[in-house]
Structure 1
């Protein structure tokens, strides 16, 4: 079984919480297939079963937002936006995702780009049959892309070109944040939402949260373990998630918006921040920018850090994260 990019080390967490509660309660854990992966929600409480309905409501909210933001769902906001030019009416949640994405795009100098839908389709990673396109195909796919293709103003989005929109680099994080909001509204104080390795935690614990980070070249091994005493979001982007090899070269789904080719400066990027949406977008941007420029970008955001594996396999860690990482 493939090790996920981020692994919440449940055994240590559950044992610690069990001790805190005097052995009176097991955590409530539920899973559902969403966002193209297995989503797991775990609630820690002295009476966790009282939050069964809250967990189901969180899953329902995630499903609703997935339907809004998926390019493959008939009637989704993303599909309508991709087919339109000019003013487009969208749901408030979609507007918020676009607004946050454009902010990261600007901060990263375009390294994060939500207008690469044609490029994603061209490479075919979503179809299960990826291929290496010709250079003229890549050039055509990039013709209408770029952060200038979209403007969000006065609660509306203006699309300036026929670019296809792809929210894959931020929507999952935003949807995780919304699930956390549903849990909090229901009174949940300590929980984790894990969507295929993209993770957000709430609640301070007697024992720290321990999150294992997958080694990008050794699938069954951990690169290191994050030890967090505060609730944060943790998201990893890596070149091992969706890729194929041809003539000894690896081609993956994280594209450099300026070349249309897979970004080559990193093997994996793990970002720790307050919100999963921000961590999600920044992980992609840093992967494109590379270690030095990527760490400089992360330093511009409060309580945001990164663990980067460069293309040569070396690891770089934000100063604020170094004391929170343990190595094998």
Structure 2
């Protein structure tokens, strides 16, 4: 690439993917944002100039904001809530609100009632159960089921009006996110100097244009950003949607219950823990991914067969994977020559040292601070040092402009080499700013280190702005332990959990 090269980024160094070539007339712009539709937002734009890419980013964010003001149930003055305040009146609604309401009506029939905007009432019942730490009674559950499974609106396509029929709480999030992603990508692609875009909101992706995106499918058994993926795939002009129970839900009497519920029974979905769907239409991918968490795998396979061009990967709570017949057509393993190279590789193991217990891991969890009116994520570096402060393992380096990497002062002082291949991560939706990484006890060369004391470093910085470094020593001697770290400007909270693998 020539001087046209735009901002390049590495999302998590343990997740390299096959390279995507860029011509001399193109550049790759990458942006990371938080609290967009209540979650994280990763954006890639392949454009002819940096100015075009930045303007396209603004266009995308503007379209997301416009649609959110129409469809969100969290905005009291938004169009959805204004319509909801009406009672049995035929209210003229916008094209976007009418389209999403209509999609719900269509998909409720297609999925035998598993897609229902009134599922919000079931979610509220289980949130109340979590607060009281008491399971809902059968009477309460059946009452909610009755309230959910009734008509909630009628639509008049001739006059484009919607009439509210019930008092049952509604939310349009099942379709709203996919719908917004698709419309924002379409708006971006109207610019003649934009060749492709990749939008990833909380783990759901839309890829449009002349670009093949490498996607890592998150393993539902671990929440770490840099954990080994369940699968790899490549996609062009497709949507990739993932729904699962491993990031959001409620705890009642030491039992975890998914936020994905079955509107027909009033019970949380428990048999499937993750479903990823690939389709050319974002709404179809999003709807099927949600439905596949509620339906039995056999029912999901039959439903998918009615939508040509659908690929899927379903994971049950027992860990069984069910893939579509053509799944291998999209899936692709990472190649050896894409591995990330690092400097100062040092293996600390010797014959007389006691090595790291291979059945243990360190989970590093942290939450980035949220600021009104500020959406771009700071640069973040996370790495492990030995007792002599020699770096032994780099876990993540998140950035989008190489020229500003010196702002990560401690990380930059190590003069680490970085990989520039970036894979998107398809996963269940996370809360905005909440991340976790895993250290498996290996050094950058892939060898287990010896047991002993190591320092965890979490560094965050903005371009000529705020700066924060958290350093915490921990003794990895085989005895599980937890530690909470003090937060500050950019990193609000952080925690370390040294544990046996498989612990939740």
TM tier, smaller:
0.7 to 0.9
When normalised by structure 1's length, the TM-score is 0.86
Match of 1:180? 185
Taking the aligned partners of 1:69 and 1:250, their CA distance within structure 2 comes to 29
Match of 1:293? 299
Pick aligned residue for 1:71 from 60, 70, 73: 73
CA RMSD after TM alignment: 2.6
Shift of 1:238: 0.2
Taking the aligned partners of 1:252 and 1:117, their CA distance within structure 2 comes to 13
Shift of 1:77: 3.0
Alpha-carbon spacing, 1:137–1:327, altered in 2? closer, same or farther (3 Å):
farther
Corresponding position: 1:57 with 2:59: yes
Q: Are the aligned partners of 1:120 and 1:253 in contact in 2 as well (CA < 8 Å)?
A: yes
Secondary structure in structure 1 of the residue aligned to 2:195: coil
Taking the aligned partners of 2:196 and 2:132, their CA distance within structure 1 comes to 40
Alpha-carbon spacing, 1:252–1:287, altered in 2? closer, same or farther (3 Å):
same
Alpha-carbon spacing, 1:10–1:92, altered in 2? closer, same or farther (3 Å):
farther
Listed one character per residue, the Cα deviations across residues 132-173 of structure 1 (whole Å, up to 9, x for unaligned) are 433333333333223633332322223332222111211001
Match of 1:89? 92
Match of 2:321? 315
Alignment of 1:265-284 (within 5 A): 265-284=271-290
261-270 or 111-120: which moved more? 111-120
Q: Name structure 2 gaps, 5 residues minimum.
A: 1-11, 335-504
Shift of 1:41: 1.9
Q: Name structure 1 gaps, 5 residues minimum.
A: 1-6
Answer 1 or 2: which has greater strand percent: 2
Taking the aligned partners of 2:208 and 2:262, their CA distance within structure 1 comes to 33
Alignment of 1:182-261 (within 5 A): 182-187=187-192, 188-205=194-211, 208-220=212-224, 221=227, 222-228=229-235, 230-261=236-267
Taking the aligned partners of 1:37 and 1:287, their CA distance within structure 2 comes to 21
Taking the aligned partners of 1:282 and 1:183, their CA distance within structure 2 comes to 25
Alpha-carbon spacing, 1:88–1:313, altered in 2? closer, same or farther (3 Å):
farther
Secondary structure in structure 1 of the residue aligned to 2:73: coil
Taking the aligned partners of 1:46 and 1:57, their CA distance within structure 2 comes to 16
Shift of 1:290: 2.2
Q: Are the aligned partners of 1:130 and 1:244 in contact in 2 as well (CA < 8 Å)?
A: no
Shift of 1:130: 8.8
Q: Are the aligned partners of 1:232 and 1:275 in contact in 2 as well (CA < 8 Å)?
A: yes
Shift of 1:263: 1.2
Shift of 1:26: 4.0
Shift of 1:247: 4.0
Match of 1:3? none
Pick aligned residue for 1:150 from 139, 153, 156: 153
Alpha-carbon spacing, 1:80–1:24, altered in 2? closer, same or farther (3 Å):
closer
Pick aligned residue for 1:169 from 164, 168, 174: 174
Alignment of 1:102-141 (within 5 A): 102-124=105-127, 132-141=135-144
Taking the aligned partners of 1:147 and 1:39, their CA distance within structure 2 comes to 35
Alpha-carbon spacing, 1:25–1:71, altered in 2? closer, same or farther (3 Å):
closer
Match of 1:99? 102
144-153 or 103-112: which moved more? 144-153
Alpha-carbon spacing, 1:32–1:243, altered in 2? closer, same or farther (3 Å):
closer
Q: Are the aligned partners of 2:258 and 2:270 in contact in 1 as well (CA < 8 Å)?
A: no
Structure having the higher Rg: 2
Taking the aligned partners of 1:266 and 1:113, their CA distance within structure 2 comes to 19
When normalised by structure 2's length, the TM-score is 0.57
Taking the aligned partners of 1:51 and 1:95, their CA distance within structure 2 comes to 31
Taking the aligned partners of 1:212 and 1:307, their CA distance within structure 2 comes to 12
Alpha-carbon spacing, 1:193–1:24, altered in 2? closer, same or farther (3 Å):
closer
Alpha-carbon spacing, 1:88–1:130, altered in 2? closer, same or farther (3 Å):
farther
Listed one character per residue, the Cα deviations across residues 14-70 of structure 1 (whole Å, up to 9, x for unaligned) are x423xx325974434353531001222210134243232222011011012112222
